[in-house]
């Protein structure tokens, strides 16, 4: 083999080895990163669930205690989705419903709505949104306490016609320069309460029995 050919072969082998090593490093990095991201996401989800239903109301691991529900237009869910159940001494104390409103100022707003078995709200938190920074983003618990005002409320408290912002004759404050965002959240929470009320008996019964099929 000529020196030139030998040099070419050595170069090709070197590049091949480099590619293999690089691919291995990238694969390992992706695996480690993916696991870390998944772990962080799970921890974040668990934290939000705990904020929606306080520890005093349950003794189970919320993140692992789930129920499958059929598509629900009133919750903005177009396909089957997962809700969470809070239990204490084996009894269902609350349900956490994921709700999506399409009426945000800049797009969808995803919420978690916690509702006690008696129909009272335990808490509401925003999972994601695209609202204007400094205005609509005040729906986030880390930006203001506005979202915490729902705790303890229920259908009838306030009356149905007052489940909107004060600008529209309701009971809830809006943000200066931003009415659409809080109004969308208030309406979504009310829709969640109405969904719970409409499915309460069956929902709690299936949760307690461990459903094998989605709630219709």
Tell me, what's the pLDDT at 201?
81
pLDDT band at residue 204 using 50, 70 and 90 as cut-offs: confident
Q: What is the 3-state secondary structure (H, E, C) of 5-20?
A: HHHHHHHHHHHHHHHH
Would strands 109-116 and 91-101 be described as parallel, antiparallel, or unpaired?
antiparallel
Q: What percentage of the chain carries pLDDT values higher than 70?
A: 74
In this predicted model, what pLDDT tens digit does every residue of 105-159 receive, in sequence order? Answer: 999 999 999 999 999 999 999 999 999 999 899 999 999 999 999 999 999 999 9
Compute the mean pLDDT over every residue in the chain, rounded to the nearest whole number.
83
How do beta strands 91-101 and 81-88 pair?
A: antiparallel
How many CB atoms neighbour CB 102 within 10 A? Answer: 10
Global pTM reads: 0.78
The predicted structure's pLDDT at residue 7: 59
Whether the predicted pLDDT of 161 surpasses 90:
yes
CB atoms within 10 A of CB 72: 24
Question: Domain ranges in the chain?
Answer: 53-209
């Amino acid at each position: 083999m000529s020196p030139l050919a030998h040099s070419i072969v050595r170069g090709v082998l070197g590049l091949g080895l480099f590619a293999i090593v690089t691919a291995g490093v990238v694969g390992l990095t992706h695996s480690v990163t993916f696991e870390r991201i998944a772990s962080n996401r799970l921890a974040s989800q668990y934290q939000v669930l705990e904020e929606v239903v306080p520890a005093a109301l349950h003794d189970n691991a919320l993140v692992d205690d789930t129920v499958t529900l059929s598509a629900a237009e009133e919750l903005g869910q177009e396909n089957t989705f997962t809700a969470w159940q809070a239990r204490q001494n084996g009894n269902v104390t609350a349900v956490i419903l994921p709700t999506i409103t399409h009426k945000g100022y800049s797009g969808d707003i995803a919420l978690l709505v916690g509702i006690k078995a008696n129909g009272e709200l335990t808490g509401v938190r925003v999972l994601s949104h695209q609202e204007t920074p400094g205005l609509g983003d005040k729906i986030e618990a880390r930006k203001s306490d506005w979202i915490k005002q729902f705790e303890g409320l229920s259908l009838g408290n306030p009356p149905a016609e007052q489940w909107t912002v004060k600008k529209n004759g309701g009971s809830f404050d809006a943000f200066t320069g931003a009415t659409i965002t809080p109004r969308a959240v208030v309406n979504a929470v009310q829709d969640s309460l109405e969904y719970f009320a409409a499915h309460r008996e069956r929902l709690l019964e299936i949760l307690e029995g461990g459903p094998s099929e989605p709630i219709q």
